[in-house]
Chains A and B, each alone.
Chain A
Amino acid sequence: MTTLIIKTTTRYLTALILTFGAYIILHGHLTPGGGFQGGAVFASGLALLIVACEDEVIRERFKKVPLSAFESIGALGFLGTAALGFMGYTFFKNVIANSGFPLFGDPTPIGINPGYLNTGGTLPYMNIFVGTKVLAGLTSIILVFYLLLGVRKDE
């Protein structure tokens, strides 16, 4: 699996893929995409890393990454952000939108506009939580499959 071609490609492509995934997650309320899609892109970059590295290196590196904790944090954070709506309103009410909250709380100009990152209320928070959840879940599935198959380097 870990041929020279894959190693060289990974060295140049992984940073770009991870940056693009983070961009899709963070700009979910302005451009097409969102938490699920950005998390899948991010997980594909990590899968490329998993495929390209040696078995021992992957074992050593991913021992310190709390993927299960990320998954749980994503789920609970999504529920907590949705439960913010209980402050006087209903479940899933976007309470931060147009409220002047310093992060993501600016009012959106009505009509055609280029889109500003500091708007959106609870939508960017939910995007970030769902993105964390999806990338942790898909990466852990790929990692478990890889380690279960016991893929050896064949060069």
Chain B
Amino acid sequence: MRRALGLFAFIGFTLFLLVAVVSLRPFGEPVHTEMDSYFIGHAQEEASSNNVVTSIVFDYRGFDTLGEATVLFTAVAGVLMALRRREVKA
């Protein structure tokens, strides 16, 4: 009974993966490119940066970087609080 159930689940999951692979979009031909084209076209004049990735990370989507920095700050503060001994002045 258990074996049959496992076989059924395996076949179902395999079919799901196969269907997902077959129905993938072709590589290199995205459907919605308005945002990408805007970033690539306007990064140099608006963010004044040759590196479009940096202009996205720090300018267009700066809130994401702020959240990442907060996560790192919290992690470091937690590690230092949990593991710091009295004589360690880190």
Contacts and interface: CB of A to CB of B under 8 A. Distances in A.
A86 to B, nearest CB: 13
Q: How large is the interface on B (under 10, 10 to 19, 20 to 34, 35 or more residues)?
A: 20 to 34
A36 to B, nearest CB: 8
Given A34-B54, A82-B62, A144-B83, A119 B90 contact: no
Interface in A112-155: 113, 115, 119-123, 126-127, 130, 133-134, 137-138, 140-141, 143-145, 147-148
A110 interface: yes
A43 B54 CA distance: 21
Q: Name the prevailing secondary structure of the B interface residues.
A: helix
By secondary structure, the A interface counts as helix
B50 A113 contact: yes
Contacts, number: 119
B83 A148 contact: yes
Contacts of A75: 69-70, 73
Interface residues of A, number: 48
Contact of B90 (A97, A130, A144): A144
Given A71-B76, A119-B50, 18 more contacts: A29-B49, A29-B50, A34-B54, A71-B73, A92-B59, A107-B48, A108-B44, A110-B45, A122-B59, A127-B58, A134-B72, A137-B72, A137-B76, A140-B76, A144-B79, A144-B80, A144-B84, A147-B85
